Structure 1
């Protein structure tokens, strides 16, 4: 469904991604694991069209989307939930969710989609009229995911969703990610928290200094000595 092939990206003279190649299939959770500054966010931002690649291709549903704008990528079914959540703090929860559907022409279906999000995230329903900036970090992350879902994506790019959250919320997010995949969503999950990512992913890629150094089944990778030592603290 989503394929990155030999992607190279730089910021100025600094090469950030080096020949990155990865794939994501329907109903699959794929983790992109790496330390801070490994290039995870750049990979997702480039896939979403927020950063231009020097070379390589991005294919979505069998079509090369490398030249498409971010808006066109969203309209085709590819959405990014950015690092740091980036909700609209002065808008209400419901207004934030509706912002996720800004491009949709089927306005008559928005109420049904809102109720689906509220059924999935009960705390958001309880706070639908509350200013988003007054909520906890975990609630804001759920709001960011819900806002992304309002665009009716086929592929969701999740960038560091557990950053700064308590362990109990991280565990809940892992369950949410798996549940979304079971419903048919394909998810590319960029995470420093390797334990969470490998626990909910089907496959994983290890990114170091901008390049993929390992890939494979998530459970098998979590059992390798290299991953245990470098990312799992064992």
Structure 2
């Protein structure tokens, strides 16, 4: 690399910065976005931090200044995120939107089962949290696979793979190869919300955008689309608190 090229090459951005507001430091991740036209901030409930998106050619110093000017906004939004709740005996978990208490059954053999409105967990207490989360992921996969296959058949698209993850920034994603990924936390939401997310991602296999045509496909697949979107706006962030404490 020539000396001139090194002189004009931009130093890599840090992955994150800290914004201090009233003596408290808040982590802010930095993301350069080719399509961005201005600075934007959002908070992530799952990782309890903020993300600053900036245009590809923006100056890092301007981005940092923007984040610091909005320190109060960041602090207020992060304070609204509910405290995490670990999976331990007595915790109430909203399985398919319905409250279920976690009950430890050390005298029983097996893993996890639902009975009388409770999630019963057998075996050693040290493995209880992992068993509950594994159970929820299995239930999520079952419901999401069924909804995905049903919607895919309705519009004649092929799903090549369904993945279940703990996605922090989105509930689902679809690729042009036919692969779809979902957050396992959708099993905590009411079934009509899970159904909407499955319809949303399947529709992307026909339209890889958010055009009016895309939304018509989603609405045809899921008549309760607007109710599900409203539920997610009001309650979605709360789903990230479970299993985090």
Structure with greater contact order relative to length (CA < 8 Å, sep ≥ 6):
1
- Rg bigger for which structure? 2
TM-score, L = length of structure 2: 0.28
TM-score, L = length of structure 1: 0.29
